[in-house]
Structure 1
């Protein structure tokens, strides 16, 4: 019996793959052992697709898309059909996969995720430039309606496509029924786009899953719900939703959310940097009512963004702004400076390309430069305070970026005190790297003498002792 089954399987595969030429079979051979589907920039995948474009017939590609030995061969065939602008063929393949649970493990850079083959079929049309905008929209609408009207509905597929669904009464009625029946938060967010007041209680009934929908439908009637569940505000989705409101009632909730976040950060022994996320959430929609609340955080928690500082300057005198900056700088700890709002999607490339996004020293230096334009006196005090709280490894970069050796050399006492009393001797070498940039021979020699006086501490770890010896040798220091 087993031999019979094996023979039947062999005949099946032979019959199936007799529908593709030997050349096409050879082209797709490298994909038979695939366990990941890479982006089109992957060398092997790109080569396979280029060869399929040139050598494979449309009939072969359709066959491979439907009956390929694995999901990766199917996906490659679908992509090539898209390149050949075979929209009708892709639509038919999509129909046959409406209820399929087959998935690809997809890799983009270092990110890996699983998603449905049917979603890949949809994206073969919607992503890229294979089809004109009119063709693309027509195919997308047809696929979306197929997913919405399938029986039974493939919820994973529909949820993946739901954000592109057209807005009309027929779709609204179907989506609402599915939401009531399945309790899908993804579809609830789509339903919320209709902004129907009759859906408010339905949305609230989803509890912690309601906030993505509230973000789409920021009706004032949701504010008591958010206030009642203020403990949820530590979740991203809650703050995304709350940021969509701009009223005095919402402002009070924002203040409560900040205090709750600060309390949690304190319990976790978390510095002002942990306020950065909620801080940026609050002003991502640029509601000016919230700006004074955020400005106050500079005076209590030493966190500021350039946007909020610019607004403060516009609404206060130069003398008031100088005092505002000084009061914040005099607080203990390092300043947390925000250059660009990472949740501002209109300027998303600024977040990726801006050096200040990744360089906290550059952000601090930029804040100091702004302060200098407002008050030289406050600037000098701010530089002193910054040196006092600067981390050991930041000294060289900070001094190099500030390019104001004279102001830093007014604070030799802080530099020497940090060399004597910082937590570990190894960090003192990093401070000496910064001092060297100042080109002050006397200061460097005083610092070197302190390093030598701590030489016993460098014996704690071999790497410390090695760095100490290198420092002594490179700088011709006598022990």
Structure 2
């Protein structure tokens, strides 16, 4: 039996390879064991593509694209056909793979994703510079026509191509019928792009899955629907949809959404940072009707963005802006400062690489610098408040980034109180790192005396006692 199976496999392999030359078979051999990933940056694959382009006939490439030993050989052959500008051949391969379940695992860096071979075929035309814009347009149009008119429809392929679906009137009826037949919330988003009032009830019938479609079609008639379901406000899609509206009616819903978010955050150990997401959702479309709501959150929850502060300064006097900042800074707790809206996709790449994205101390320092330009008096009070409420580990970092030891030293009482009354003695040692940076011998000496007075507390854990001993030795402290 085993011999028979081996013979059949041998015959299959012979039939498959007999359609290509020995040279082509040798070129694609490195791809035969490819199973885990496909990457356009892979040097081995690049070399295979270059050799296929130079040495393999179009007929052989078409054969490999249709009958290749694995999906990676097929995908590589398709890429080479695209490079040869064989649009007609690619179109034929696309037709034959319309219902293919084969998938590639595409990996870029540490991220990976699986996608259909048919999607790869489509993207071989739509991505890159192998075809002119006119050629791309015509080929994409033909491929989409094939997908839309297929019987039966391939829902997975159609959903994957939804953002490439045409928006012409001829396609509208087909897409609407497909939405009804497949109940696909992904296709619903495409239907919503037509912004046809006759589709409002159909969109609402999708319940929670309707929000991405509403985001594309923010008709005021959806507001009662959103209001009825505003308990879902923690869902990104709800707020993405709501942010697209800018009216007094929508403003009332935003107020309710923020209230719900606050209640849900009470049991979470994340402070005002939990409000950051809904805060940014609310102003992502720059509806100034919502800005006063967000400004109030500085006064109630000590959270502020530079965008909202900019608007506040433009619409208020300098004296009012100073009072506004002071009232927020005097509120207990750490300030949550938002440097930019992470949902504004135009500059997200620049933002995520910015130091402000990851450094809360730097964000606070930038806010204090803004405050100082408005009022030096408020700035000094804000520095004092910040020193009171910063976390133990943040204090020394804050002092180093503020670069204003003079203002910090005006609050020696606050610093010594923090050393004396810190919840645990171990944390008090990290505060001493900040005091040391100030280069005030008496202040450091007074702080060290407090540390010594708490000597017994360091015996609670071996690591605490070890750090205490190191501190005493390194700083020549007398016990």
Distance 2:416 2:43 in 1: 56
Match of 1:378 in 2: 378
Match of 1:210 in 2: 210
Distance 1:451 1:11 in 2: 83
Match of 1:81 in 2: 81
Quick check: 1:388–1:414 contact (8 Å CA) kept in 2?
yes
Poorly superposed stretches of 4+, deviation over 6 Å: none
Match of 1:356 in 2: 356
Quick check: 2:37–2:105 contact (8 Å CA) kept in 1?
yes
Residue 243 of structure 1: how far off its partner (Å): 0.6
Distance 1:90 1:84 in 2: 10
Distance 2:394 2:118 in 1: 50
Match of 2:186 in 1: 186
Residue 56 of structure 1: how far off its partner (Å): 3.5
Match of 1:262 in 2: 262
Match of 2:149 in 1: 149
Distance 2:470 2:88 in 1: 70
| Residue 35 in structure 1 maps to residue 20 in structure 2 | no
Alignment of 1:429-448 (within 5 A): 429-448=429-448
Residue 40 of structure 1: how far off its partner (Å): 1.7
Q: Give the secondary structure class of the aligned counterpart of 1:94.
A: helix
Structure 1 residues 102 and 460, CA gap change in structure 2 (3 angstroms):
farther
Range with greater deviation from structure 2 (450-459 or 55-64):
450-459
Match of 2:176 in 1: 176
> Which residues of structure 1 form unaligned runs of 5+?
none
| Residue 413 in structure 1 maps to residue 413 in structure 2 | yes
Match of 2:100 in 1: 100
Report Cα offsets for 1:11-34 as digits up to 9, x if no partner.
Answer: 111110122333433333333232
Q: Give the secondary structure class of the aligned counterpart of 2:161.
A: helix
> Which residues of structure 2 form unaligned runs of 5+?
none
For normalisation by structure 1, the TM-score amounts to 0.94
Quick check: 1:340–1:350 contact (8 Å CA) kept in 2?
no
Distance 1:371 1:430 in 2: 27
Distance 2:438 2:295 in 1: 34
Distance 1:344 1:137 in 2: 29
Q: Give the secondary structure class of the aligned counterpart of 1:210.
A: helix
Structure 1 residues 22 and 395, CA gap change in structure 2 (3 angstroms):
farther
Quick check: 2:243–2:283 contact (8 Å CA) kept in 1?
yes
Distance 2:432 2:83 in 1: 60
Alignment of 1:58-77 (within 5 A): 58-77=58-77
Quick check: 1:223–1:250 contact (8 Å CA) kept in 2?
yes
Distance 1:164 1:219 in 2: 23
Distance 2:6 2:13 in 1: 11
Match of 2:318 in 1: 318
Distance 1:464 1:58 in 2: 73
Residue 39 of structure 1: how far off its partner (Å): 2.8
Structure 1 residues 477 and 75, CA gap change in structure 2 (3 angstroms):
farther
Distance 1:120 1:326 in 2: 57
Report Cα offsets for 1:122-170 as digits up to 9, x if no partner.
Answer: 1222222222222222222221221111111111111111112221111
Range with greater deviation from structure 2 (225-234 or 441-450):
441-450
Match of 2:253 in 1: 253
| Residue 450 in structure 1 maps to residue 447 in structure 2 | no
Structure 1 residues 130 and 37, CA gap change in structure 2 (3 angstroms):
farther
Structure 1 residues 26 and 448, CA gap change in structure 2 (3 angstroms):
farther
Distance 2:149 2:29 in 1: 37
Distance 2:437 2:18 in 1: 73
Residue 105 of structure 1: how far off its partner (Å): 1.9
Quick check: 2:38–2:104 contact (8 Å CA) kept in 1?
no
Report Cα offsets for 1:254-309 as digits up to 9, x if no partner.
Answer: 00000001100013344111111011111111001111111111111111111111
Quick check: 2:38–2:72 contact (8 Å CA) kept in 1?
no
Residue 421 of structure 1: how far off its partner (Å): 2.8
Match of 1:7 in 2: 7
Distance 2:43 2:451 in 1: 53
Match of 1:338 in 2: 338
* Length, aligned pairs only: 479
Residue 5 of structure 1: how far off its partner (Å): 4.5
Residue 467 of structure 1: how far off its partner (Å): 4.2
Match of 2:24 in 1: 24
**Pairwise CA RMSD:** 2.0
Alignment of 1:392-407 (within 5 A): 392-407=392-407
Residue 45 of structure 1: how far off its partner (Å): 3.3
Residue 3 of structure 1: how far off its partner (Å): 4.1
Quick check: 1:284–1:344 contact (8 Å CA) kept in 2?
yes
Match of 2:389 in 1: 389
Residue 8 of structure 1: how far off its partner (Å): 2.6
Q: Give the secondary structure class of the aligned counterpart of 2:286.
A: coil
Range with greater deviation from structure 2 (121-130 or 217-226):
121-130
Q: Give the secondary structure class of the aligned counterpart of 2:114.
A: strand
Q: Give the secondary structure class of the aligned counterpart of 1:104.
A: strand
Distance 2:50 2:456 in 1: 65
Report Cα offsets for 1:147-195 as digits up to 9, x if no partner.
Answer: 1111111111111111122211110000000001111001111001111
